[in-house]
């Protein structure tokens, strides 16, 4: 019996590449493809499947946050096996994704060799691309301990992150807390440095993952 597969990625060339890798496998049947979150959710309703291969960050309204998307899919389709295909290179966010019970985490840089291995894996022993695992191992060695949790930040840093997670700008946060914009910017930067985050996008995902918004 064939495994029914859906593919989701907002880059057409990536969709084509993944489909090409799968089409010659006798036990796989690609039943739908999507280039946005909305299209993916509609496809899952219309075309039952066993395995989803999806990018983490795609356009799609409220579900643009990839971690929220995977959480929602885990709730709606608890038996669905999920392989995430990504360019993600932040250790904190990678660990967050792996905690969601996925079957594999594949780097887009190694699709040719790694995707078949992830498809053959299981949630009990998820496949992780060697380049991603190396990133995790290097981060653990560098920090000597897991990346900081929110409770290890200062109270003022957490306060700033909570407001930032609601969509407020640095200026709006400064006005709300009666602090200078420089102070708020410094506290945000300090929190990001402690958490090992290097972009505002990765910070926003971390805030959502840890319930700070």
CA distance 129 to 164: 32
- pLDDT tens column, 9-41: 988 888 999 999 888 787 899 999 999 989 999
| CATH number, domain 3-142 | 3.40.50.2300
CA distances from 36 to 16, 52, 123 (A): 15, 14, 25
pTM: 0.69
Q: Which residue has the tokens 């060799």?
A: 113
The structural domains of the chain, with segments of one domain joined by +, span 3-142, 150-209
Bridge partners, residue 83, by sequence:
53, 104
CATH architecture of 150-209: Orthogonal Bundle (1.10)
Q: How far does CA 156 lie from the centroid of its chain?
A: 27
* 150-209 and 3-142 share a CATH fold: no
CA distance 53 to 80: 11
CA distance 110 to 82: 18
- pLDDT tens column, 41-84: 999 999 999 999 999 877 664 444 677 888 889 999 999 999 99
């Amino acid at each position: 019996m064939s495994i029914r597969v859906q593919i989701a990625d907002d880059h057409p060339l990536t969709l084509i590449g993944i489909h090409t890798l799968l089409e010659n496998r006798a036990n796989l049947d690609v039943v739908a493809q999507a280039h946005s979150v909305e299209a993916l959710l509609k496809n899952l309703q219309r075309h039952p499947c066993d395995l989803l291969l999806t990018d983490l960050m795609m356009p799609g309204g409220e579900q643009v946050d990839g971690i929220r998307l995977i959480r929602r899919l885990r709730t709606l389709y608890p038996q669905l096996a999920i392989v995430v295909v990504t360019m993600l290179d932040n250790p904190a966010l990678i660990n967050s994704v792996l905690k969601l019970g996925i079957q594999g985490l594949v780097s887009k840089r190694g699709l040719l060799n790694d995707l078949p291995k992830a498809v053959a894996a299981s949630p009990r022993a998820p496949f992780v691309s060697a380049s991603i695992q190396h990133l995790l191992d290097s981060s653990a060695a560098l920090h000597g301990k897991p990346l900081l949790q929110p409770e290890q930040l200062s109270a003022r840093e957490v306060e700033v992150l909570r407001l930032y997670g609601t969509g407020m700008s640095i200026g709006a946060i400064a006005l709300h807390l009666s602090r200078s914009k420089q102070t708020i910017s410094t506290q945000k930067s300090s929190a990001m440095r402690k958490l090992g985050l290097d972009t505002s996008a990765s910070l926003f995902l971390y805030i959502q993952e840890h319930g700070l918004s």
